[in-house]
Each structure stands twice: as C-alpha cells, then as structure tokens.
Structure 1
Amino acid sequence: MAEIVLLVIAGVAIVAGLLLWHARRLDRLHRRVLDTRAILETQLGQRSEVAAQLAHSGLLDAASSVVVAEAAWQAGIHADRLIPIDPAHGSIGTRAAAPLTGGLDRGQAESDLTVALRAALGEPADRELMAATSGARELLEQVERCCYRAQLARRFHNEVVVAVLSLRGSWFVRFFHLAGRAPLPRPVDMDDAVFDQAPRT
C-alpha cells in the first residue's frame, strides 16, 4: 500500500513539474513575442523616418520622391501600430489593443513602402550614381542599415511566434489549458526585401 502511495505521489510530482516547466516556458515565450514585436515596431518606425528623409533629400526624381514620401507617411503615421501607444502615458504598451490610428493594415503599408523604396533606389549601379552626390552616401547607407535591421527584427519576431504556436499546439499545453486566455500571437507578414544583401559594415 505504501508503495502505491509513493508511486502516486511521484506521478503527481512529475506531472506538477511538467506543468510548471511548460507554464514558465510558455510565459517566457509570450514575453519574448512582446519584446521582439516592440523592437520590430521601433525598427519599422526608423525605416519610415529615414525613407521620409530620403524622399526630401533631393536625391530622387520628383515622382519617386512623392511616392516614397506618401508610402513612408502611410507606414509611419497612418497605419495600425504593432504595439499600441498608451494615450495616458505616451509610451509603448505591453498588451495587445485595438488600432489607435487610421486602421490601415500595417503589413500592407510596410510592403508598399518596400516597393516604393525598391523602385526609387533601383539597382546597385543606380545607387552608386546617387552616392556620388555630396552627402548622399551617408544617407543611402543609413537607409540600407534601417531596412536590414527591420528585416532582421521581423525575422526574429516571427521565429518566436512560431515557437509559441508550436508549444501551444502540443497536447500537454492544450489539455491542461496552460495558455489560459492569452491571445494567439500572429506573425508579421510583409515584403521587406528592399536590398538583395546585407549592408556593408
């Protein structure tokens, strides 16, 4: 009888340990989703800012300047935020919330900016010609760095989202409802390939 009790206690302890381990891991991953999403929001914001600078720099032709400026404004100002701004404190929030802007799909707005930048900047040879203008090389390198960092930030964020979805899809997490009422995270889908390769450092 005592052996059976010990086996039951051991079994309960194992299950409790697994529950605790999975719950902590799930919580850490959810926090990483929020962290990487905030980083992505920051990087995309910087990309929009530097795109606007490019549009007003005089390096582009008139039509490209208008297209890039409009796309940068839509992505940076008018589209939904990935991490909402707390209107009471003016800071980035940590919880999902309804869009606080014009309701444009952020992924589409960012993709439109990517397309506009890709068309305006052209091929590497075209960018080399632009860089010959006084002070242009630094701005072009800044555009390239911001685009690359945004690309990396989105990749890292989506990898964490995949990890969360995989863990939440396991039978153990679903059976014991370890995720509670936490919303399912979603990957950020957008075209972010402005350049063919990483910037030179």
Structure 2
Amino acid sequence: MIYLQTHLVVIAVVVVVLAAVVAYLCVMGARRLDRLHQRILANRDALSRLLVRRASETLLLAREDALGARAGTCLTEVANASVADSADQLSCDGLDRRSGAAPASDPVDVRRCLEKASALSRAIRDALDDDTRRQLAAREPARARLEALDATCYRIQLARSAHNTDVTQVRSLRGTALVRVFHLAGHAPEPEPIDFDDDTRYDGRGY
C-alpha cells in the first residue's frame, strides 16, 4: 500500500512538472509570436513612411539640371504616381487591426501600390547611372539630395528585409506542433511577405 501511494505521488509530481513545462513553453511561444507580430507591424509602418519619403526626395532631386529634362520628367511622373497611392497598402493579410475592425486591404490596391513602388525603384535606377551620379555629386544642393535619397533607399531595403525575415520566423513558429495544438497564434492571420523591386542602384548592383 505504501509503495502504491509513493508511486502515485511520483506520477502526480511528474504530471505537475510536465504541465508546468508545457505551460511555460506555451507562454514563451505566445509571447514570441506576439513580439514578432508587433515587429512586423512596426516594420510595415517604417516602410510606409520611407516609401513616402523616397518619393518626396525623388521629386526634389528631379529638379536638378544634371538629370536632364527627360529623366527629370520621368522621375517626377513616377514619383507623383507613387505618392498618389496610399503607402499603407503594403499587405492584404489583415494582420493590422489596431485601427479597429477595419477590413483587410484590397489585394488589387496592394498590388497596385507595390507595382508603383517597383516602378519608382526602376525609374531611379535608370535615371541615376554612374555618370549622372558623378555630375550630381559635384554640386550642391544636388549632392545632398542624392545622398538623402540613397540613404532612404537603403533604409527601405533594410526595413523590407527585416519585415520578411520576421514573417519567415512567424510562419516557421506557427508550423510547430506546440503552436498548432494549443492555438497559440489565436485568431491572428498568417502574415505575408512584402515583395517589390527595391534595388535603386544602376545595373542592379544594390548596396
């Protein structure tokens, strides 16, 4: 009888310990998912602001004589088209619900916004070849405007890369048995990567 009671106590202790371990893993997993979701949203906000800034800086640079009338006009038209679109329409996964019960973004609007972002990247890449860059760098305020645009373009690449890395981590985490069994992701939709051409250097060399 004493042996049986001892055995039951041991089993009970093991069960409690296992339950505590599982609970701890669930809490840590849920917190990690939440942190990743928040980072994704923060990177989207940053990317939205940077895309608007890039368009504005492109408009300033397009006024420089070193670009030539044709390149300047092309940059102006593409940048204006980019500004006219909502820079918030970067994903239609519905992850962002901070503004209330707003519906997910229209996939058509998202696709159009990303296409215009890609178009501006290509326009910048085509207009700012090595010779044009040297001419712009030789005078002020063209040099400062070029440096500001390059810095913003680089930050766009960083923000998009960080966003997509976090999306990959979330998808991997959501695929684990612990998250699936205990529904740790809740009702949060699965985030989607943001894909568009963000390379703005001549011949696609990037940074």
Distance (Å, rounded) in 2 between the aligned partners of 1:65 and 1:190: 23
For 1:136, the equivalent position in structure 2 comes to 142
For 2:24, the equivalent position in structure 1 comes to 17
Q: 1:134 to 1:178 in 2, by over 3 A?
A: closer
Q: 1:99 to 1:62 in 2, by over 3 A?
A: farther
Secondary structure at 2:67's aligned position in 1? coil
Answer yes or no: is the 8 Å Cα contact 2:90–2:194 preserved in 1.
no
User: Structure 1 residue aligned with 2:170, among 164, 169, 188?
Assistant: 164
If asked which structure has higher relative contact order (CA below 8 Å, sep 6+), I would say 2
Answer yes or no: is the 8 Å Cα contact 1:37–1:82 preserved in 2.
no
Q: What letter matches 2:164 in structure 1?
A: N
Q: What letter matches 2:180 in structure 1?
A: R
Q: What letter matches 1:17 in structure 2?
A: Y
Q: 1:93 to 1:171 in 2, by over 3 A?
A: closer
Q: 1:134 to 1:93 in 2, by over 3 A?
A: farther
The CA deviation string for residues 31-79 of structure 1, in whole angstroms up to 9 with x for no partner, is 1111111111111111111011122344422222222122212222224
- Post-superposition offset of 1:9: 1.2
Answer yes or no: is the 8 Å Cα contact 2:160–2:194 preserved in 1.
yes
Q: 1:24 to 1:114 in 2, by over 3 A?
A: same
Structure 1: runs of 5 or more not aligned: 85-91
Distance (Å, rounded) in 1 between the aligned partners of 2:30 and 2:191: 16
Q: What letter matches 1:13 in structure 2?
A: A
For 2:3, the equivalent position in structure 1 comes to none
For 1:45, the equivalent position in structure 2 comes to 52
For 1:152, the equivalent position in structure 2 comes to 158
Distance (Å, rounded) in 2 between the aligned partners of 1:83 and 1:118: 22
Answer yes or no: is the 8 Å Cα contact 1:38–1:83 preserved in 2.
no
For 1:54, the equivalent position in structure 2 comes to 61
Aligned ranges 1:48-197 → 2 under 5 Å: 48-79=55-86, 81-82=88-89, 94=98, 97-99=103-105, 103=109, 105-122=112-129, 124-195=130-201, 196-197=205-206
Q: 1:54 to 1:99 in 2, by over 3 A?
A: farther
Distance (Å, rounded) in 1 between the aligned partners of 2:62 and 2:31: 46
Distance (Å, rounded) in 1 between the aligned partners of 2:61 and 2:135: 15
Q: What letter matches 1:146 in structure 2?
A: T
Q: 1:168 to 1:8 in 2, by over 3 A?
A: same
Answer yes or no: is the 8 Å Cα contact 2:55–2:80 preserved in 1.
yes
Scaled by the length of structure 1, the TM-score of the pair is 0.83
